[in-house]
Structure 1
Amino acid sequence: MSFHTKILPVRLDSIVFHKDDVLPHITDKVSAESLRIAAHELTTTTNVVGFPTETVYGLGGSALNDEAVRSIYRAKNRPSDNPLIVHVSSIDQLKRKILPAGYEIPAAYHKLIEQFWPGPLTILLPVDEASPVSKLVTANQPTVAVRIPSHPIARALIALSDTPLAAPSANASTRPSPTMASHVYHDLQGKIPYILDGGPCTVGVESTVVDGLCKPPMLLRPGGVSMEEILLHGGPEWSHTVVAKKTASASEPVRTPGMKYRHYSPTAKVVLFIHCGDGIAAIAKYLTDNQISAHTTKIAVFKSSKFAGADQISGDIAMERELGRTGQEASRNLFRLLREADEHGIDLILVEGVEETDAGLAVMNRLSKAAMETVEGVEA
Structure 2
Amino acid sequence: MASTSSALSATFATQILPVSLSDIDFPSDAEVPNISKATVTYTNLYKAADLVRNHVAPVAFPTETVYGLGASALSTAAVNQIFAAKSRPSDNPLIVHISSVSQLRRVLHTEIPDIYRPLIQEFWPGPLTIILPLPDPIRNEDGTVTPVISPACTPGQNTFGVRMPSHLIARSLIAITDTPIAAPSANASSRPSPTMAQHVYNDMIGRIPIILDGGACNVGLESTVIDGTVSPPVILRPGGVSIEEIRKYGGQLWKDVVTGKSEAGHDETVRTPGMKYKHYSPKAKVVVFLGQGDGNNGEVARYIRDLEGDLKIGVLPSRLFQIDSWDEDVKKKIYIVKELGKSGSEIARNLFAYLRDLDEAGVDLIIAEGVSEEDEGAAIMNRLRKAATEILDSHRYIVKN
TM-score by length of 1: 0.95
Alpha-carbon RMSD: 1.6
Matched, 1:111 2:118: yes
**1:124 maps to 2:140:** no
- The residue identity in structure 1 corresponding to 2:45 is L
1:231 paired to 2:238: no
- Alpha-carbon contact 2:312-2:363 (below 8 Å) kept: yes
Task: Name the structure 1 match of 2:315.
Answer: 301
Q: Does 1:268 align with 2:268?
A: no
Residue identity matched to 2:176 = L
Letter in 2 for 1:110: R
Q: Give how far 1:311 is off.
A: 7.2
Q: How much does 1:276 deviate?
A: 4.8
Q: In 2, distance between residues paired with 1:95 and 1:105? A: 9
Amino acid at match of 1:16: D
1:244 Cα deviation from its structure 2 partner? 0.6
Which is further off, 258-267 or 370-379? 370-379
Q: Hey, what's the Cα distance between the residues in 2 that align with 1:347 and 1:118?
A: 40
Question: In the alignment, is residue 325 of structure 1 matched against residue 342 of structure 2?
Answer: yes
Question: Any idea what the Cα deviations from partners look like across 1:305-345, whole Å, max 9, x if unmatched?
Answer: 11012672612310011112121110000000000001100
CA change 1:123–1:19 in 2 (3 A) is closer
CA distance in 2, matches of 1:120, 1:308: 33
> 1:301 touches 1:310 (CA, 8 Å); kept in 2?
no
Mapped to 2, the partners of 1:247 and 1:334 lie a distance apart of 20
- Structure 2 match to 1:211: 227
1:349 is aligned, of 344, 347, 366, to 366
Instruction: Check conservation: 1:326, 1:360, Cα contact below 8 A.
Output: no
Cα distance in 1, alignment partners of residues 245 and 22 from structure 2? 28
Task: Report if the CA contact (8 A) 2:156-2:269 is conserved.
Answer: no
Q: Distance in 1 between matches of 2:281 and 2:231?
A: 34
Counterpart residue number, 2:376: 359
In the alignment, the residues of structure 2 paired with residue 280 and residue 215 of structure 1 have an alpha-carbon distance, to the nearest angstrom, of 42
1:159 matched to which residue of 2? Answer: 175
Whether the aligned pair in 2 keeps the contact of 1:171 and 1:187 (CA below 8 Å) is yes
The Cα shift of 1:140 comes to 2.3
Separation in structure 2 between the aligned mates of residue 349 and residue 20 of structure 1, nearest angstrom? 44
| Alpha-carbon distance, 1:134 to partner | 0.4
TM-score, normalization: structure 2?
A: 0.90
Alignment of 1:367-378 (within 5 A): 367-377=384-394
Q: Tell me which amino acid in the other structure corresponds to 2:120.
A: I
Q: Using the TM superposition, give the Cα deviation of residue 46 of structure 1 relative to its aligned residue in structure 2, in angstroms.
A: 3.6
1:140-178 Cα distance to aligned partner (Å, 9 max, x none): 211000000000000000000111000000000000000
- Give the Cα separation in 2 of the matches to 1:288 and 1:304: 20
- What is the identity percentage for the equivalent residue pairs of Structure 1 and Structure 2? 53
| 2:18 corresponding residue in structure 1 | 9
Instruction: Judge conservation of contact 1:276–1:376 (CA < 8 Å) in 2.
Output: no
> Could you tell me whether the CA contact under 8 Å between 1:311 and 1:317 is conserved in 2?
no
SS at match of 1:318: strand
1:131-150 matches, within 5 Å, as 131-150=147-166
Q: Is 1:24 equivalent to 2:33 in the alignment? A: yes
Q: Which runs of 5+ in 1 are unaligned?
A: none
Residues 324 and 19 (structure 1), Cα distance of their counterparts in 2 relative to 1, 3 Å cut: closer
Distance in 2 of aligned mates of 1:276 and 1:349? 19
* Separation (CA, whole Å) in 2 of partners of 1:373 and 1:19: 43
Residue number in structure 1 paired with 2:48: 38
* Partners of 1:311 and 1:17 in 2: CA distance: 50
Provide the C-alpha distance between the structure 2 equivalents of 1:307 and 1:249, rounded to a whole number of angstroms. 34
C-alpha distance in 2, partners of 1:19/1:66? Answer: 30
What is the CA distance between 1:355 and its match in structure 2? 1.3
Query: Which secondary structure does the structure 1 equivalent of 2:276 belong to?
Result: coil
Kindly indicate whether residue 92 of structure 2 is the aligned counterpart of residue 76 of structure 1.
Answer: no
Shift of 1:283: 2.0
Which deviates further from its counterpart, 56-65 or 41-50?
A: 41-50
Asked if 2 retains the 8 angstrom alpha-carbon contact of 1:57 and 1:180, the reply is: yes
CA distance in 2, matches of 1:301, 1:312: 13
Q: Is 1:310–1:320's contact at 8 Å kept on the other side of the alignment? A: no
Letter in 2 for 1:37: K
- Please give the secondary structure, in 2, of the residue aligned with 1:237: helix
Mapping of 1:280-295 within 5 angstroms? Answer: 280-287=297-304, 291-293=307-309
- Cα distance in 2 between the residues matched to 1:146 and 1:70: 18
Q: In the alignment, is the contact (CA less than 8 A) between 1:277 and 1:306 conserved in 2?
A: yes
